[in-house]
């Protein structure tokens, strides 16, 4: 307090003349414990003047003399605290205004901008808009910022189809909204509606993310928002203390690796001698041109029992190799960030540069590199006229494991990796120094390391985002705003196989091949908004009119050249030409291109009112037109109606009630999903010089229409606990389906509005300040969600589709159900007439034929001697005239429906949970984010393929009791030539430590003693992502998916596994 007195005395000494002409406002800003809040802003917004607090929490600024005698509003603002506004009458001389701010744990006054006509405090929302603060994201940032919302918001499913560096994430908000279209939400960044789904910027740029999950809130965005909206706001200079400049430097460095190492089968079914050498029928060591020293290779023979059954129970001898360890190698990862920001009463800006690199965990690949630059600028030309601009550019490069996007992959190294024999060293080279293409003499798949070393797959992407906004308040109750935004994404990909590329089977790439692809995605948006706000006594009214124009363009092209001339040359001029006397042709080239342009317009009006901040009503109507709609359905309406009642604001609510906030709310709204570009048109296919009819046009094609009813309850307890409960019921009508047509139409199909989806979601979230004192804080957050969805109507022929054709699409079907053969696990499901006494349930849970008086353990060695005539493996069991193979699982047949295709799994979880905890003691902090999925299934197609060559660890019978061993035929039946079946449906339940951060932040007093006033902040931490997973799933990670929507199609199909990352971070600001 002495420093404050000295400061005031100094002002009086230095400004004696000024006191007669101007007013000086000064004071302190502290928290409720008396601690100064450094960098708090105190300002008179109507005059665009103010100041920020220094190390002692003091501030001072001057008010021009012509405002002396006026009554003005003075505002004190600090992040994480409740803003204070007070009316003051400006007098001459020095005025003292001290502020004591309270922690805003419930954050009811936080401003929401997504799904609403204008910036609105959370306490006045009548529907759900979830927020993730930038500080929560940067605690353990992901290279893909969308991944940072995983586990933090109820009702949000995030899944990456690949763990490769730079891979994008699929997001589904609540239930699925389309079968044939995307379920990805609409992305908006600083007012720019993204034309491409990739989010190419960095998590360190983010100020906050707002998530609107369904039509009850997303109706504001009309025909492109039925999947919800994710609105990302990046940092701006306005967060910097007034009249100051800040430079922030952050560096992270660490390693990433696969989160789990798989083990292959370490036993075989082949005949060996006493030393473990592979022998022929005569007992001599097997020899062949490419056999290994121990005789492994062509000519080995299977060791069988008297009935012809074999077992994977002979251990491999000699030096063994784990192919997974040869293939995967921890890679480095680093991030460098520099940001410069400045804030004054009229202008603020932030400029940042970020450099990100992730090598990944695959040997010899460089991974992903991204460099990005951002500039955000706000300027107040006059007190009632402001302009803002945002600019962003990024350049991303990465090398791929499989083929370039838009082209089928010739080889997948992850596929061959699953068939690696433990005797084989994948890193061994031949006499020319080349890795062996067939490292395993019996393999039918290429050496995965050879593929990586000899295939050049590169991808690059540049992204340019720009936004300009002008806002004018000609009257207190009238606001005009104009917004222009631009988004352009350029993607280039190259795949190169040099001359002499080897493959086990002949391939078109053996003589060299070059493929280049380019995609340009561009979106331009312009809108003009008129907003009105007027207070009539206790009634606060608001309204808004908006006109919006959108234009998007998409262009792609490719060229492929085969049969190259010169080694090591990836230029297309290297393609061999065939010449005659009449000239030369273009050589073995193929090329093509595609272009589309879309125009859309939207107009909306909205009106809202609240009475004494407790009765809140909002209505909305929008009219959208788009060139994607059928010619007879060019314009479509959307609406919303919502209401909320803040019961805790009623006069009858006791002042000392521990429930400090209680709000009931309900909302109903509609939003749409646009058809794809070709859907409304007649499509003709050109092949071999002939045109053929493909798709019949539809002038009456409409967008999909989602109607959502949402009911919510918000409860605040003692200003320290906040509970949010939500129930959302969703109906999606006019599903877009490609309906097969009768032959007389001349076309094979037509896009029609031919179905409905129904879903409901329950969400709950709790945030609690468990303990808070001057030095210590402990906060906990919990989320819960559960979604159910089904196809309510399907006016087309039922069909199977999705990855591996696992999914059934028909009326009444649960969307996400898997279908295939079921191996019987209950004696009651035996075929009609089968005598149950002939069967037993084995230790895998399958019903198997064993014969009367036997058990499943009556197999090899049941009498203590292996290989005797009493071994039943390989024999038949006759049950009422039907022969069953002894000990072999039996497929179920639905006799009533005459089908063997039954439901074998469901990708949707029973429910999902998230738990985050933050503990702070003085400068020390510990943050953890846990995630859990209970129930839900994954189809492990990767594991199924491994059964083909006896490479999966399940097939290892070594070390088992003789009576418990299973024959090779047992696993061949389960493999079933990769036919989809229940054996490979696994429970995807897990508990995962998603994020961890342990750090220390030095306070300003500590820094000032060492660095003076040079450093404003300094922090260091250890950051981890995807650190621990507790699960019974046998693959790399249960969070796996495939196809167009990994959140829905839960299939493990030779994907790049998710990575575990550990980093060290150092950040300072001056």
pLDDT in tens, 454-491: 999 999 999 999 999 999 999 989 999 999 999 999 99
pLDDT of residue 580: 64
DSSP 9-38: HHHHHH-TTHHHH-EEEEEEEEETTS-B-T
What is the mean predicted confidence (pLDDT) over 714-727? 94
Q: From CA 763, how far away is CA 152, in angstroms rounded?
A: 12
pLDDT confidence of residue 197: 64
User: Does 173 fall in a domain?
Assistant: no
- At 243 the pLDDT is 87
**What is the residue-averaged pLDDT of the chain?**
90
pLDDT on residue 9: 43
Tokens coding 1007: 């820094």
Q: Is residue 57 part of a domain?
A: yes
> What percent of the chain lies above the pLDDT cut of 90?
67
Please name the residues in contact with 259: beta carbons below 8 A apart, sequence gap of 6 or more. Answer: 1026, 1029, 1036, 1037, 1057, 1058, 1059, 1060
Domain membership of residue 23 (yes or no) is yes
Rounded mean pLDDT of 350-365? 92
DSSP H or E stretch at residue 250? strand 244-258
pLDDT interval class at 45 (50, 70, 90):
confident
- % of the chain surpassing 70 pLDDT: 94
pLDDT tens for each residue of 293-322: 899 999 999 999 888 899 999 999 888 998
Q: Is 659 within a domain? A: no
Distance between CA atoms of residues 608 and 312, nearest Å = 72
Query: For position 610, what pLDDT does the model report?
Result: 93
| Structure tokens, 220 | 């504001």
Residue 2 parent element (H or E)? helix 2-14
The domain spanning residue 92 has which CATH number?
A: 2.60.40.1120
Examine residue 1020 and state whether it is found in any structural domain, yes or no.
Answer: no
The single residue listed with the structure tokens 């209970």 is 934
What CA–CA distances, in Å, run from 873 to 735, 859, 878? 52, 6, 14
* 114-159 per-position pLDDT tens digit: 777 777 888 889 999 999 999 899 999 988 888 889 999 999 999 9
Residues facing 670 on adjacent strands: 707
* CA-to-CA separations, 104 to 222, 527, 932, in angstroms, rounded: 34, 34, 29
pLDDT value for 403:
67
Question: Average pLDDT for residues 499-528, to the nearest whole number?
Answer: 92
- Total length of the chain: 1070
For the stretch 91-115, pLDDT in tens is 888 899 999 998 877 777 777 777 7
User: What is the structure's pLDDT at 410?
Assistant: 75
- What Cα–Cα distance (Å) separates residue 763 from each residue in 109, 322, 854, 917? 22, 44, 52, 19
Is the dihedral angle over the CA atoms 1000, 1004, 1009, 1014 positive or is it negative?
positive
Give the per-residue pLDDT at 508: 85
User: Residue 673: which of 649, 644, 645, 708 has the closest Cα?
Assistant: 708
- What is the reported pLDDT for 144? 86
Q: Check residue 437 and give its pLDDT.
A: 92
The pLDDT tens digits of the residues spanning 655-674 come to 889 999 999 999 999 999 99
Q: What SS3 string covers 73-129? A: EEEEECCCECCEEEEEECCCEEEECCEEECECCCCCCCEECCCCCCCEEHHHCCCCC
Q: Are 487 and 532 in contact (CB under 8 A)?
A: no
pLDDT for the residue 866: 47
Could you tell me which of 962, 964, 976, 955 has the C-alpha nearest to residue 842?
A: 964
Average pLDDT over residues 994-1018: 88
Q: Quote the CA–CA distance of 398 and 368 in Å, as a whole number.
A: 4
Pairing of strands 71-77, 84-89: antiparallel
Angle CA(90)–CA(91)–CA(95) in degrees, nearest 5?
Answer: 85
Q: Is residue 809 part of a domain?
A: no
- Structural domain contains residue 717: no
pLDDT at 39: 83
Residue 441 in this model has a pLDDT that exceeds 50: yes
Is 66 part of any domain? yes
Return the pLDDT at 152: 95
**In the structure encoding, which two tokens stand for residue 285, read together?**
């060591």
For tokens 């191996």, what's the residue?
823
Confidence check: pLDDT of 581 > 80:
no
Q: Comparing 49-58, 270-279, 418-427, 888-897, which segment has the lowest mean pLDDT?
A: 49-58
Say how many C-beta atoms besides its own lie within 10 A of residue 905's C-beta.
24
pLDDT tens for each residue of 949-974: 999 999 999 999 888 999 999 999 99
Pairing mode, strands 690-696 and 704-717: unpaired
pLDDT for the residue 719:
86
Task: State how many domains the chain has.
Answer: 1
Q: Which of the four pLDDT bands, split at 50, 70 and 90, describes residue 987?
A: very high
Residue 406 clears pLDDT 80, i.e. is over it:
no
pLDDT of residue 3: 46
Domain of residue 76 covers 2-101
């Amino acid at each position: 307090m002495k420093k404050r007195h000295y400061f005031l005395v100094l002002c009086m000494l230095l400004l004696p003349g000024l006191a007669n002409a101007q007013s000086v406002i000064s004071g302190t800003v502290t928290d409720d414990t008396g601690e100064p809040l450094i960098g708090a802003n105190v300002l008179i917004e109507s005059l665009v003047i103010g100041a920020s607090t220094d190390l002692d929490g003091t501030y001072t600024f001057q008010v021009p003399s012509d405002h002396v005698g006026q009554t003005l509003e003075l505002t004190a603002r600090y992040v994480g605290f409740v803003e204070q506004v007070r009316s003051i009458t400006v007098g001459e001389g020095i005025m003292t205004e001290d502020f004591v701010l309270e922690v805003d744990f419930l954050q009811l006054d936080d401003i929401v901008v997504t799904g609403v006509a204008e910036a609105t405090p959370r306490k006045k929302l009548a529907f759900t808009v979830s927020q993730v603060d930038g500080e929560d994201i940067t605690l353990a940032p992901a290279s893909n910022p969308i991944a940072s919302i995983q586990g933090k918001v109820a009702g949000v499913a995030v899944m990456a189809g690949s763990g490769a560096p730079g891979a994008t994430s699929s997001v589904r908000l609540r239930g699925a909204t389309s079968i044939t279209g995307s379920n990805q939400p609409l992305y908006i960044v600083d007012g720019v509606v993204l034309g491409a789904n990739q989010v190419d910027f960095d998590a360190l740029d983010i100020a906050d993310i707002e998530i609107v999950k369904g039509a009850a809130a997303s109706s504001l965005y009309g025909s492109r928002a039925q999947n919800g909206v994710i609105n990302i706001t990046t940092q701006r200079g306005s967060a910097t203390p007034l009249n100051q400049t800040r430079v922030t430097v952050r560096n992270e460095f660490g390693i990433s690796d696969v989160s789990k190492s798989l083990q292959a089968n370490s036993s075989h079914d082949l005949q060996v001698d006493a030393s473990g050498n592979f022998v022929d029928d005569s007992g001599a060591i097997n020899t062949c041109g490419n056999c290994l020293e121990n005789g492994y290779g062509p000519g080995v023979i299977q060791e069988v029992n008297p009935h012809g059954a074999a077992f994977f129970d002979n251990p491999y001898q000699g030096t063994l190799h784990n192919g997974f360890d040869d293939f995967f190698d921890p890679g480095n990862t680093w991030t460098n960030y520099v940001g410069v920001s400045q804030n004054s009463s009229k202008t603020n800006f932030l400029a940042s540069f970020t450099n990100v690199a992730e090598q990944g965990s695959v040997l010899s690949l460089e991974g992903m590199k991204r460099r990005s630059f951002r500039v955000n600028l706000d300027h107040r030309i006059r007190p009632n006229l402001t302009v803002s601009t945002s600019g962003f550019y990024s350049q991303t490069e990465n090398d791929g494991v499989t083929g370039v996007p838009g082209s089928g992959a010739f080889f997948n190294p992850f596929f061959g990796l699953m068939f690696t024999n433990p005797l084989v060293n994948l890193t061994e080279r031949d006499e020319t120094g080349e890795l062996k293409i067939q490292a395993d003499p019996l393999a039918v798949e290429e050496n995965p390391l050879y593929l990586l070393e000899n295939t050049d797959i590169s991808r690059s992407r540049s992204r340019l985002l720009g936004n300009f906004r002008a806002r004018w308040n000609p009257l207190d109750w009238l606001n005009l705003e104009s917004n222009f935004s631009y988004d352009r994404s350029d993607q280039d990909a190259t795949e190169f196989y040099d001359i002499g590329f080897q493959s086990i089977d002949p391939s078109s790439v053996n003589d060299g091949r070059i493929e280049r692809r380019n995609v340009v995605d561009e979106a331009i948006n312009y809108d003009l908004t008129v907003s009105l706000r007027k207070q009539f006594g206790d009634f606060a009214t608001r309204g808004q009119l908006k006109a919006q124009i959108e234009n998007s363009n998409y262009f792609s092209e490719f060229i492929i050249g085969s049969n190259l001339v010169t080694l090591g040359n990836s230029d297309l001029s290297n393609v061999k030409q065939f010449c005659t006397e009449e000239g030369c042709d273009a050589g073995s080239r193929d090329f093509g291109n595609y272009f589309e342009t879309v125009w859309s317009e939207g107009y909306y009006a909205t009106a809202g009112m609240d009475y004494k901040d407790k009765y809140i009503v909002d209505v909305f109507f929008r009219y959208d037109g788009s060139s994607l709609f059928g010619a007879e359905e060019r314009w479509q309406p959307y609406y919303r109606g919502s209401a909320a009642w803040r019961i805790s604001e009623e006069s009858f609510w006791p002042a000392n009630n521990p429930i400090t906030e209680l709000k009931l709310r309900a909302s109903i709204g509609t939003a749409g999903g646009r058809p794809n570009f070709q859907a409304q048109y007649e499509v003709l296919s050109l092949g071999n010089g002939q045109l053929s009819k493909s798709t019949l046009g539809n002038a009456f094609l409409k967008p999909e229409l989602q109607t959502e009813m949402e009911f919510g309850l918000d409860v605040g307890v003692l200003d320290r606990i906040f509970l949010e409960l939500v129930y959302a019921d969703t109906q999606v009508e006019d599903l877009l389906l490609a309906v097969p047509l009768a032959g007389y139409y001349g076309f094979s199909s037509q896009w029609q509005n031919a179905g409905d989806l129904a879903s409901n979601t329950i969400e709950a979230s709790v945030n609690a300040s468990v303990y808070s004192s001057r030095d210590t804080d402990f906060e906990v957050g919990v989320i819960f969600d559960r979604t159910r969805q089904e196809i309510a109507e399907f006016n087309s022929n039922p069909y199977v589709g999705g990855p591996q054709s696992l999914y059934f699409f028909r009326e009444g079907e649960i969307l996400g159900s898997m279908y295939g053969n079921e191996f019987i696990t209950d004696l009651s499901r035996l075929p009609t007439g089968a005598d149950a006494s002939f069967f037993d349930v084995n230790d895998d849970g399958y019903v198997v034929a064993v014969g009367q008086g036997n058990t499943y353990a009556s197999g090899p060695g049941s009498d203590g001697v292996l290989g005797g005539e009493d071994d039943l493996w390989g024999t038949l069991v006759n049950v009422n005239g039907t022969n069953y193979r002894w000990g072999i699982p039996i497929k179920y047949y639905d006799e009533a429906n005459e089908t063997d295709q039954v439901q074998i799994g469901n990708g949707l979880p029973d429910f999902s949970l998230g738990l985050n905890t933050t503990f702070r003691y003085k400068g020390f902090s510990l943050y953890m984010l846990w995630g859990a999925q209970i129930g839900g299934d994954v189809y492990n197609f990767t594991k199924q393929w491994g059964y083909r060559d006896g490479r999966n660890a399940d097939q290892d019978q070594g070390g088992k009791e003789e009576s418990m061993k299973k024959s090779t035929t047992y696993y061949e039946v389960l493999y079933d030539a990769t036919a989809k079946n229940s054996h490979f449906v696994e429970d995807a339940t897990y508990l995962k430590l998603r994020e961890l951060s342990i750090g220390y932040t030095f306070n300003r007093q500590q820094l000032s003693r060492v660095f003076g006033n040079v450093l404003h902040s300094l922090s260091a931490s250890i950051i981890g992502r995807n650190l621990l997973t507790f699960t019974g799933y046998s693959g790399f990670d249960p969070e796996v998916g495939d196809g167009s929507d990994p959140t829905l199609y839960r299939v493990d199909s030779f994907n790049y596994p998710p990575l575990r990352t550990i980093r060290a971070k150092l950040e300072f600001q001056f």
